[in-house]
């Protein structure tokens, strides 16, 4: 066989509770590498901040993140990596370039996670990006569609997907 291994870039996850979304985020946090950007999409109350909390737990951050809306960005110091948590809910697109976000994104020894990140999307081309789209699927169920751009991102999403499937068996 000479065929190349196909590298997938879209993965679907289903969670049935806050605790499961937290656990999924922990898996991402356990495998994530410096310089990664994660964009969390989905309506109000769908679970984006819960995901950030799981990520922070796995990174052994000094505090548990709270909604960053009022400060636009909060930084948490983990055991090895820093976690930059952006929440741009209140930001207009034309205000984004004045924040200096690129100073933080892709920085050595740090990862960045965005809620309501569309004003920053012009920066995404420059970093390894994983996008997670959260959809309500009845009750506490969520469907989370993960799209990965770049080799490191695909590797991360693929690893988490394998671990998640193993856990579900
Ligand atoms: N499967 C699930 N995953 C995540 N959260 C869930 C799930 N089922 C129920 N929930 C609940 O949904 C809420 C999610 O709140 P969270 O603050 O994470 O939303 P958010 O997407 O960050 O909202 P916002 O856009 O306002 O920042 C919590 O109250 C949580 O308990
Ligand atoms: Mg939130």
Write the CATH number for 116.
3.40.50.300
| Rounded Cα distance, 135 and 149, in Å | 20
What band does 70 get if pLDDT is binned at 50, 70 and 90? confident
4 is a domain residue:
no
CA 67 – ligand 2 centroid, Å? 5
* Mean pLDDT calculated for residue range 158-162: 96
Give SS3 for 41. strand
124 is a domain residue:
yes
| Model pTM above 0.85 | yes
Question: Percent of the chain having pLDDT more than 90?
Answer: 78
CA 69 – ligand 2 centroid, Å? 8
Domain interval for residue 59? 10-89+101-168
- Burial track 129-149 (b if 16+ CB lie within 10 A, e otherwise): bbbbebeeeeeeebebebbbb
What band does 1 get if pLDDT is binned at 50, 70 and 90? very low
| Rounded Cα distance, 104 and 158, in Å | 25
pLDDT at 106 over 90: no
1 is a domain residue:
no
Q: How far is CA 147 from the centre of its chain?
A: 11
* Protein residues with CB under 6 Å of any ligand 1 atom: 15, 17-18, 20-21, 42, 44-50, 67, 115, 140, 142
94 is a domain residue:
no
CA 37 – ligand 1 centroid, Å? 20
Q: What is the pLDDT of residues 16-39, one digit of tens each?
A: 999 999 999 999 999 999 999 999
95 is a domain residue:
no
113 is a domain residue:
yes
The number of folded domains in the chain is 1
96 is a domain residue:
no
| Rounded Cα distance, 166 and 169, in Å | 5
């Amino acid at each position: 066989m000479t065929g190349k291994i196909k590298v997938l870039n879209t993965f679907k996850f289903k969670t049935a509770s806050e605790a499961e979304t937290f656990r999924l985020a922990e898996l991402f946090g356990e495998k994530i590498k410096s310089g990664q950007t994660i964009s969390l999409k989905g309506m109000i109350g769908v679970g984006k901040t819960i995901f950030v909390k799981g990520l922070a737990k796995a990174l052994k951050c000094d505090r548990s993140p709270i909604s960053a809306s009022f400060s636009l960005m909060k930084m948490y110091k983990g055991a090895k990596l820093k976690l930059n948590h952006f929440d741009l809910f209140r930001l207009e697109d034309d205000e984004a370039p004045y924040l200096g976000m690129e100073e933080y994104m892709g920085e050595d020894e740090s990862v960045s996670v965005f809620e309501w990140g569309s004003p920053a999307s012009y920066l995404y081309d420059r970093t390894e990006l994983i996008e997670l789209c959260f959809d309500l699927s009845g009750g506490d169920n969520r469907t989370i569609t993960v799209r990965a751009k770049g080799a490191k991102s695909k590797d991360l999403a693929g690893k988490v997907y394998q671990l998640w499937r193993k856990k579900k068996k």
